[in-house]
Structure 1
Amino acid sequence: MSDPQPSNEEGTTTTVITATTHLTLPAHPVPLTYEELNPKSQPLEFFGPIGTFAISLLAPLFTYIFFYTCNDAVGCTPTTLNGWKHAWNLVGNFPSAAGYLWEWKAFAVYLGWYVYCIVCWKVLPGDEIKGNLLRDGTRKSYKMNGLYTLILTLGLSLGILLNPGGIELYTWLYDHWVPLVSSSLAMATFQALWVYGYSYYNGELLALGGNSGNFFYDFFMGRPLNPHPPFFPSFDIKTFNEVRPGMILWLLLNISCACEQYLRLGTITDSMWVVLIFEGWYTVDCLIQEHTILNQMDITTDGFGFMLSMGDLTWVPFTYGLQARFLAFHPVKMGPVYTTIVVAITLVGNYIFRQANNEKGNFRAGKNPKNLEYMTTERGTKLLTSGWWGRSRHPNYFGDWLMALGWCLPTGFSTPLTYYYIVYFVILLLHRQIRDDEACRHKYGKDWDKYCEKVPYKIIPYVVSHLQLVDQLNED
C-alpha cells in the first residue's frame, strides 16, 4: 500500500510504501499425542542390550577393583600371583573398615550427605535459569546454586579441620571408602529403578534414545528425560546429580586423603598438593559455570538411567580421586622441575578447556566478543568456524585430556593403575564425539558435511581426522 505525501520541495511527491504480511495460523492447533512425542527408539548404543547389561555390571565392579587392587594392604597393583590371591582374599575380609563391603553407619552418612545437598538446593539462594526448548514446546527452569553449596560445605569442612582432632576426624571418609562406595551404588540403583518404573505412570517426556522397550537397555540409557519426584516438578533429579552430590564429594574425599597423608608423614607432599589443587579447582570451576551443563548432551539428549545415576554418584567421586587415595599411602615427591612440567601441562589443558567453553557459551547466549566467524545452516542454527571451535570440533575435549594427564602424572610411574583416568577419558570422549557427530549429521544434513570441510579436525587441533586418515590409506 502506498500513500502520497506532500513534499517540502516544489514539484515533487514523496511516497511511503507499507508492506503488510498476513500469516494464517490454525485456530485450534492439534497437540501431539504421547506416542508422537515419545516414539520408540532402537537399542543400538553401547552394542545394544547385551552391551548395556555388561556395562551395568562391570562399571560398579571396577569401582571395587580399583580399591582392592590398590590399597596399603596389597600395594598398587599386585605384581605376583600370590599378591592377586591376597587381594582377592581381602574382599569382604579387609583388615579395616575401609574395605568392608557394607556398613549401615556409612549408608546413614551417605544418605545424610545426599539429603544435605537437597536442603542446600532448596534453601540457599540461586539464579533461576531456563533450559533448552524441549520438543513438547516447554522449557524447564533450573535453580543454580551449586557454588553456594560448595562454599558452605568447604566452610564447614574448614571448621572441622581447625578444631583439635579435626584432621583425624576428616580421615573418616578415607577409612570407610568401600562401604561409602556401596552406599552410593545403592542410591544410584534405587534412583535408576524408580525413575524407570515411574516413567510408565506419570506421562512425562521420554528420552529419544531410551524408549526401546528392552528393560536392560532402557534401564541403563534412561527412559525419562527430566525425571522429578511426585509433587516436586522443579526438582530435576538428573540435573541435580550432575554436579552436586558426586562432584563435591570427590573434592571432600581428596581432602580426606590429604589428611590421611598428613597424619602418616606429618606433612603433605608436592604431588598431593598438585592433585588436590587442580582437581579441586576443576570442581570449583564446574560449579561456577554450573549453568553451562544445560547445553551438554547429558542434559539435552540422554535420559536419566543407571548410566548417569551410577556415573554421577559412584564413578565420579570414587574413581576420579584414585590418584589422591594412592598418594595417601604411597607418597611421591616430585621436586621443582617435574612439578613445573606437570603444572604447565595442567594449566594449558585448563586454559584450552575454559576458553573453548567460554566461546561456545557466549555464542549461544547471542554474544560474540571475539568476532568469531560462523556459518548459518538451513535450520537457522549458527556453527562456529573460527577461534578454538575452528581448530577442532571438540577443543574442550582436548583440554580435558591434557588436564587428565596432569592429574595422573603426580603419582609417578610405579603403577599403571593410577593412569586409568586418562585412558578412561580418552575412550569416553572419543565415544561421545562419535555420538555427537552422528546426532549433528542427522540434525543438519548436508550442512554438517559443509561444516566438517571447514573444521576437519575432530578433537586435537590440526591433527588429521579419522576420515582423512582412511582416505589417505585408501589412496595409497
Structure 2
Amino acid sequence: MAVEKRSSDLNPRTTSYEFFGPPGALFVTVTVPLTAYGLYFTCSEAAGGCPPPFDNLFVGAVRAYNDLSWWKNLWDTEAALIYLAWYLFCVAAWFILPGDWVEGTQMRNGRKLKYKINAFSTLLLTLGVASGYVLRYGPESFTFIYDKWLGFVTASLLMSVLQATYCYVSSFYGDKLLALGGNSGNFIYDFFIGRELNPRIGSFDIKSFNELRPGLILWVLIDISMACEQAVRRGGSLLNITDSMWLVLAFHSFYVIDSLYNEPAILTTMDITTDGFGFMLAVGDLTWVPFTYSLQARYLAFQQVELGPIWTAAIIAVNGLGYWIFRDSNGEKNDFRNGQNPKNLKYFETKRGTKLLTSGWWGLSRHPNYLGDWLMAVAWCLPTGFDTPITYFYPVYFAVLLIHRQQRDDENCEKKYGEDWHKYKEMVPYRIIPYVY
C-alpha cells in the first residue's frame, strides 16, 4: 500500500488539457504527417511548381484519392531500409563514441538522471563519412535523398509511430515516473502528449537521443543532398552551387552544430524536464524537423536563385542578429541557473526561494531567446527570394509554436509562483518582442 500511495502521489491524474484536449491532439496527430507530405505536393517539380497551378493541384488531389497506385508510391522499401540503417548508425554512435555523463535537473521523485553527451561527436563522424563519400563518388551519388523524398518521409513517420506506441505501452509496466501532463487516462491524448516522462532502455534515454541526433543531423544531410542535386544540374561541380544554397546550407548547419556542441543545455528545456515522450515529440524530432525545416534547400535544388553580394550580406546580418540574441540570452539564463552572474544582472526573489532575472535580455522580455530564434528562421527563408510564399512556411509556423510555448510556460509559472508571478510580469511586461508583444 505504501508503494501504491507513493506512486499515486508522484503520478497524479492529469486534470487539465492542452491542444484543446483529445480532439486537438487527434487533429495535430493527423495534420502533422499531412503537412509534411503537403509541403512536397505543393512545392516540387513533380507537382508542377511551388505552388503548382491550382487546376493541376486540385485535379491531382482528386485523382490521387481514388488511385491506389498513388498511395503505394508513398512507400519506398529502399528508402525505408536506408532510414533504418541511418537510425541504427546514430544508436551505435551513441554507444561507441566516448562522451561525458552529465546529470540532468532534479525530478520530482528526487532523482537526477545521467545523460551521455556525444551528439557533437556523432555529427563530426557523420559529416566525415558523408564528405568522403561525396568526394569519392561525386555529387550525383548523394542525390538519393532528393530522389526518394516521399519514401524517406514515410519511413520517418513509421518510426515515429512505432516509438510513440512502444513508449506508451511500456509506461504501464514497472514503477515509471509519468509526465504530469500526459496521465489523463485518455488514450488519444496520452499517446500524443507522452505518458512516461523519461522512457529509457537501460541508460539509453529515448527522448534526449531523438531530440538531438537522428533528426537534427539528418537535416544537415538532407541539405547536403539538395546542394548535390543543384550541383549536378549546374554542371556537376560543387563549385557551381548558388550563393543562396550556400547560405541556407551554412545557416542550417551552423544552427545544428551549435545545438549539438551545447548539448547539455537541452537538459533544462521543457521538452526534457516537463513533457513526456509521445507522438508529439517523436514525429517532431524524426519527421517535422528534418523534412520541413529543409524546405528552402529542397526548393533551391530545382529553383536556383542568385543573390549577389549585397543581398547576401544583408541576409547574413539578419541571421547574425538573431543568433546573437538567441545565444547571448540563453547564456545569461544558463549562467544564472548555475549560480553565476558575470553581468551582475538584477533579479526578483520569489517566496519559493527561486530567482527570476529582471535585467539584461530577460529584463526586455520574458522570452528573448524566442525572438532570436524566430529572426534566424526568417533569415533561413530569405535566400529563396519572394517568388513563392510556401518557402516562408517555417517562420509562420514557428511564430505560432513559440507563442504556444510562451503561453504554456506562463501558465506553468503562474501555478508555480502564484502572486510572485504577477509581480514579476509587472517588472517584465513583454512576452517575446520588447514593446510589441
TM-score, L = length of structure 1: 0.87
Report the counterpart of residue 255 of structure 1 in structure 2: 224
Pairing 1:10-409 to 2, within 5 Å after superposition: 33-73=6-46, 74-86=48-60, 89=63, 100-163=73-136, 165-229=137-201, 232=202, 234-266=203-235, 267-409=240-382
Deviation at 1:42, TM superposition (A): 2.3
* Per-residue deviation, residues 39-62 of structure 1 (Å, max 9, x unmatched): 000251000000100110011111
Residue 366 of structure 2 aligns to a residue whose secondary structure is coil
The structure number with the bigger radius of gyration is 1
Mapped to 2, the partners of 1:458 and 1:167 lie a distance apart of 45
How much does 1:88 deviate?
A: 5.8
- Residue 453 of structure 1, aligned match among 419, 423, 426: 426
Provide structure 2 residue ranges, at least 5 long, that are not aligned to the other structure: none
The offset of 1:92, in angstroms, is 10
How many residue pairs get aligned? The number is 431
Q: Using the alignment, how far apart are the partners of 1:54 and 1:167 within structure 2?
A: 40
- Distance in 2 (alpha carbons) for counterparts of 1:291 and 1:32: 34
Q: Is the 8 A contact 1:411 1:418 kept in 2?
A: yes
**Does the 8 A contact of 1:192 with 1:306 survive in 2?**
yes
What RMSD over aligned residues (CA atoms) do the two structures have, in Å? Answer: 2.0
Quick one: which amino acid aligns to residue 228 of structure 1?
R
Higher RCO (C-alpha under 8 Å, 6+ residues apart): 2
Does the aligned pair in 1 maintain the 2:193–2:280 contact within 8 Å?
A: yes
Percent identity between matched residues is 55
1:399 and 1:307, CA in 2 relative to 1: closer, same or farther beyond 3 A?
same
AA in 1 matched with 2:17: L
- CA distance in 2 between partners of 1:252 and 1:447 (Å): 46
The offset of 1:335, in angstroms, is 1.6
TM-score w.r.t. length of structure 2: 0.95
- How far apart, in 2, do the equivalents of 1:30 and 1:91 lie? 53
CA contact (8 A) 1:92 1:101 kept: no
Structure 1 SS opposite 2:74:
coil
Shift >3 Å, 4+ stretches: 29-32, 86-96
Aligned residue identity for 2:78: K
1:422 paired to 2:391: no
8 Å Cα contact 1:92/1:100 also seen in 2: no
- The more displaced of 72-81 and 438-447 is 72-81
**Unmatched runs of 5 consecutive residues or more in structure 1:** 1-28, 466-476
Residue in 2 that maps onto 1:14:
none
Partner Cα distance (1:140, 1:363) in 2? 21
Deviation at 1:382, TM superposition (A): 1.0
